[in-house]
Amino acid sequence: MYYWLRKFRSEETDAVEDDIQWIQLGRWDRQAALRTIEDSAVRIHIGRAMVEVRPGFDPVLLRGVVKVLLGSC
């Protein structure tokens, strides 16, 4: 029985190892990632104020800020 347990464990390990695929990862460049985020921002000028809107912004908050800024112009 020990023979069969060892054999099945060996076959399971071989099957798992055949499914593994490695990929090469490049070095993460923090400055490039920050530049990408800054480049994707939209700047809105209202009077003397400037609002920078980035991906993932809260539209309700932006609407409120714009409303306040338009009221003060």
Better-predicted residue by pLDDT, 66 or 35: 66
Is pTM beyond 0.75 here?
no
CA dist 8 and 23 (Å) reads 29
Q: Which of 73, 71, 41 is nearest to 57 (CA)?
A: 41
pLDDT of residue 37: 63
Q: How far apart are CA 63 and CA 70, in angstroms?
A: 10
Average pLDDT, the chain: 80
pLDDT, tens digit, for every residue of 14-33? Answer: 555 567 777 777 787 878 77
Q: In the chain, what's the furthest Cα-to-Cα distance?
A: 86
> Which CA distances in Å does 24 have to 18, 27, 30?
18, 10, 18
Please determine, for residue 9, whether its predicted confidence score (pLDDT) is greater than 60: yes
pLDDT at 54 over 70: yes
